[in-house]
Amino acid sequence: MNDRLARGLFKTLGVLREYLPEIVVGGGWAPFLYHRYIFRDRKREPIFTRDIDLMVRPTVPVIGDKSIDKILLDAGLENKFKSNDNPPVIHYEGIIDGWMSKSSS
């Protein structure tokens, strides 16, 4: 397991900590989190990717004084894509604190 990538995941989740009750981690990181922290199986190494897929409801209340969008932008990510779907898919790319991260929220 590449601990550098896991640190990137946790740094990204740390940036979003106020919104974690509103966020579901998906994609390749979901099996990693289940195996490592729910099943406590550190021997099994699920396949995961460098990007981080995050899902939220179509409408998320602003918690505190910053929206999820503002938090990600302030952390140095860049909004690269927003679909016209309902709900939209928003794609952010960038580096948080020196670790590669890509997020969809």
For the segment 23-39, what is each residue's pLDDT rounded down to a tens digit?
Answer: 999 988 888 888 888 88
Stronger pLDDT, 9 or 43, i.e. the higher one:
9
Q: Which fold has domain 3-104?
A: Beta Polymerase; domain 2 (3.30.460)
Residue 15 has pLDDT above 80, yes or no: yes
Which residue is associated with the tokens 């640190």? Answer: 7
Domain chopping of the chain, boundaries: 3-104
Q: Which residue has the tokens 């601990």?
A: 3
Mean pLDDT of 45-65: 85
Single-letter amino acid code for the residue at 13: L
Q: Nearest-CA neighbor of 92 among 12, 34, 23, 28? A: 12
